[in-house]
Structure formats: C-alpha cells, structure tokens
Amino acid sequence: MMKKILYTLLLAPFFFISSCEESCDCDYVVYDSDPTNNYTWTETYRSSWDATCEDELMDESTYTISGQSWYSRTEIECN
C-alpha cells in the first residue's frame, strides 16, 4: 500500500506538467501600412515561431518619411 502511494506521489508532478503543455502553430508576422498601399495593413513577412500559444503584439512603430507616415507592426499569431 505504501509503495502505491509513493509511486503515485512521484508520478503525479510529471503527469501534471506534461498535461499542461500545449502544442501550437504560431507565426511571427510583420504588417506595414503606408502611402504605397493606401494605408491598408499588408502582410510583408511571415515565419514560423515557437511561442506560448497566445497571440501577442510585439512591436508597433510609426515612421515619417518626406512628411508622410509609415506604420509597421509585428505580431505573433497562433492557431
């Protein structure tokens, strides 16, 4: 009886840790919005990414070139 309890106590943490891990398909994506695309958010780069299974805004930037604004944002997108 004591062996069964000890065995259960030793294996419980491993079962809990492995059951909490999620498998996700995430991408690192860059979007640009500027005068050349009529200020429509356009995907300009996409690559696979190891992440925590949650969408996340990583960066959002604004640039001014010759008096016109150019925008860029980088996101992690997960399925």
pTM exceeding 0.85: no
Return all residues near 48 (Cβ < 8 A) that are at least 6 apart: 25, 26, 27, 28
- Residue predicted with more confidence, 19 or 28: 28
CA distances (Å), 60 to each of 24, 31, 63, 65, 73, in order?
A: 24, 10, 10, 17, 4
Per-residue model confidence as pLDDT tens digits over 53-70: 888 999 999 999 999 999
Task: Show me where the domains of the chain are located.
Answer: 2-78
Q: What percent of the chain has pLDDT over 70?
A: 71
Per-residue model confidence as pLDDT tens digits over 29-48: 999 999 999 999 999 999 99
